[in-house]
Structure 1
Amino acid sequence: MRNWPIFRLRVTTPRLELRIPSLDDLDELGDRAAEGVHDPGFKPFLFPWTDAEPAGRARSTIQFQFGQWSQWSPEKWGCSFVAVLDGQVVGTQELAATDFAVTREVSTGSWIGQRFQGRGIGTEMRSAVLHLAFDGLGAQHATSGAFADNHASYAVSRKLGYLDDGIQIHNRRGKAAQLRRLRLPRDRWSTPAGFEIHDLEPCLPLFGVSRTA
């Protein structure tokens, strides 16, 4: 689409392609959500979307993406990619920012279908959007966060060089839960070999980035 070039944006890694999802991709991502994202009883998300029955999880996954597209502006955007491994959608990786032109700060969030976990895909997905943020968009900081019992997410952040950035206490399904904030400054990031960004230039205004920045 000439007037919405974000659909052509891709980030590739040695194993993965991250792309803005087509309708077919969204259908497949909904299937991953329906199949399951975590063990029963585990609560990795503040908003309890995974508590819904499988069809509800699939629908909310698709609706979330439509909502991001409709609300996108250069001042506040959320860019959710699907991660594709060997031609199959395995999960989603978000990069988001508010007033990026001023703050040069992004945040990330992700999930992977449960049957694809444990293969290092989460680290590779996060690295891909950090490459986009730091090397493509000129970000100076990336933030993330995980509840204290989400050891897998915290391990990914640690592996990529994030620093502790304080804690927050949230109401998670009626109980207090500690969220660990994490921050990665630009000078602690080094892009791994084999990572590439495709068709970013036409998208820069959508991210609030000047072509001369």
Structure 2
Amino acid sequence: GDTSVLAALYGPAEAKGNKELPERAALEVLLRPKVGLPGVVERSREQLLRQTCEAVLLGRLHPRSSISLVLQVLGDAGSGLFWLCSPLWGSPPPLNPPPPPCRPPCCLNAACMGLLDAGLPLSCLFCGVACALHPDGSLVLDPTARQEQEARAVLTFAIDSAERKVLMATTKGTCSIEEMQQCIAAAQSAADTIFRFYRDSVRRRYSKS
């Protein structure tokens, strides 16, 4: 669609000062908005992205080093990444979160492709998928900005490529447990298409033909 994110990865390099971790690489994720300077919303997104990347990055193979992943939003047409509401990391959502600008699952996909292109050791790949639940109960994958505004709830998932497990989940709005399970199943199915895109992209990049 019209959503695009540019990823740049630097490292592994020597860690400086208090950023050094003796047993693994220190991963830093920086999210740059399309316009303006990053704020509190971007910082919260950076934490979600970093935790997702750390779940698959074999950082113990590069101890005492630092890795920086910079994500620059170039275009934003929807499929947002919202406040964490999943117990996966045991972090409750804020009581009165401000309405954040859209930060698409495209950030998750760009982050994974950046790690993959840099040749860093990964236990598996991951991808981001967004689902919008409309008031009539219908489900839309990869919603546009207008569809997100009209939706009763928008859920975003990070799915791994090994067992299709949910690495991260965020939500905006309310939904039942059954509806969340329905969205997870749809996201896991859609992840197959994204992983095929990963393989095709890498094949084209490194093909000699």
> Under TM normalisation by the shorter chain, which class is it?
0.3 to 0.5
Q: Which structure shows the bigger proportion of residues in strand conformation?
A: 1
Q: TM-score, normalised by structure 1?
A: 0.35
Higher relative CO (Cα under 8 Å, sequence separation at least 6) belongs to 1
